[in-house]
Amino acid sequence: MGILSRTSYIIRSKINSVLNRAEDPTETLDYSYEQMRDQLQQVKRGIADLTTQKKRLEMQKRRLEENVDKHNDQARTAVQQGREDLARRALEKKKTKMNQIEDLERQISDLQNQQDKLVEQKNTLQSRIEEFRTKKETMKARHEAAKASSTVSEAMTATGEEFEDVGRAIERAEEKTEDMEARAAAMDELQESGAFDDVLSDKDDIDRELEQMETDSGVEAELETLKSEMGQGETESEPATDVEGDIDEEELEEAESAVEDMEAEVDDSEVEAELAELQDEENA
């Protein structure tokens, strides 16, 4: 195979591959059906033309037959008048016309045979066209069904490019959503643990401890108040009534004041000691 032959073969194969990819089976079937219908119309026009020619020959034959009858009458008339020469000439024309009639009859017979064949071919072609039309519609329906099934299968399996992109987008959205949910859960956990309170507040450990002590003392005072309201305070103070009767009220007040001063000094010293320990920890 020469270079030109190989080049031509490659070009034809490329063109054929492109045409196969671009070909739409439904359009091809419709085009083939229209081509067959055009052929049928051509056959019908051929039959009509042939029938027209045959009719013309038949009309010419009838005219010749009329002339034959006319020449036959002329010959009879000439014989009756004793004009054999005229009768001979009339019979000669009659013979010529009869020969022409025979030739026309052969032509008409040939045309009739051709017409019969064309009509038969037309009927066969028409039947094939109807059969092809049925197959065409069936094939088109099958092709559309297969196309729809393929599209649905790609959609269900996500094998198409567009559906692959959609699948990846869904995966990315799920990942981002999970990250946001995890972050929100972490924030809730930190909020419940009070970590944000320490960050947002400007109080140090000493302030918070003092506040806790104030809270505890307030709770204890409220507890004592409730107990006294419920009558528990009177029962606990009954043994002290006899002692208070023997001691002067002023002396009792001075003793209570001295006790409170001592408790205050103790509390202040404990607070100062705790402050000193905290400062030592910070300096360390």
pLDDT band at 239; cut points 50, 70, 90: very low
Residue 223 lies in a domain: no
Q: Is the dihedral of CA 194, 198, 203, 207 positive or negative?
A: positive
CA–CA separation, 169 vs 71, rounded Å? 103
For residue 105, the one-letter residue type is E
In a domain, 67, yes or no: yes
Q: Of the given ranges (172-176, 227-231, 256-260), which has the lowest mean pLDDT?
A: 256-260
Do the domain assignments include residue 265? no
For the whole model, what pTM was predicted?
0.43
pLDDT tens column, 60-112? 989 988 988 888 888 888 888 888 888 888 888 889 989 998 998 999 999 99
Residue in 270, 272, 240 with CA at minimum distance from that of residue 256: 240
**What tokens appear for 66 in the block?**
């009329």
State yes or no: pLDDT of 149 exceeds 50. Answer: yes
Helix axes 84-157, 25-80, angle to 10 degrees: 170
Which DSSP string corresponds to the chain? --HHHHHHHHHHHHHHHHHHHH--HHHHHHHHHHHHHHHHHHHHHHHHHHHHHHHHHHHHHHHHHHHHHHHHHHHHHHHHTT-HHHHHHHHHHHHHHHHHHHHHHHHHHHHHHHHHHHHHHHHHHHHHHHHHHHHHHHHHHHHHHHHHHHHHHHHHHT-SHHHHHHHHHHHHHHHHHHHHHHHHHHHHHHHHHTHHHHHH----HHHHHHHHHHHHHHHHHHHHHHHHHTTHHHHHHGGGHHHHHHS-HHHHHHHHHHHHHHHHHHHHHHHHHHHHHHHHHHH-
CA distance 100 to 60: 10
Is residue 237 scored above 70 in pLDDT? no
Query: Which residues span the domain enclosing 82?
Result: 18-160
Is 214 within the bounds of a domain?
no
Q: Name the one residue in this structure whose structure tokens are 């009534």.
A: 241
Is 220 contained in some domain? no
pLDDT at 169 over 60: yes
Q: Is residue 69 part of a domain?
A: yes
- What is the reported pLDDT for 107? 92
As a whole number, the mean pLDDT across the chain is: 75
If one compares 215 and 41, the residue with the highest pLDDT of the two is 41
Instruction: Tell me which of 191 and 227 has the higher pLDDT.
Output: 227
In a domain, 155, yes or no: yes
| Number of folded domains that form the chain | 1
* DSSP secondary structure of 167-218: HHHHHHHHHHHHHHHHHHHHHHHHHHHTHHHHHH----HHHHHHHHHHHHHH
At which residue do the structure tokens 């400062």 appear?
279
Q: Is the pLDDT at 198 greater than 60, yes or no?
A: no
CATH of the domain at 47: 1.10.287
* Residue type at 46 in one-letter notation: G
Q: What is the distance between the alpha carbons of residues 90 and 96, in angstroms, rounded to a whole number?
A: 10
Give me the residue label for tokens 């032959």.
Answer: 5
Residue 28 lies in a domain: yes
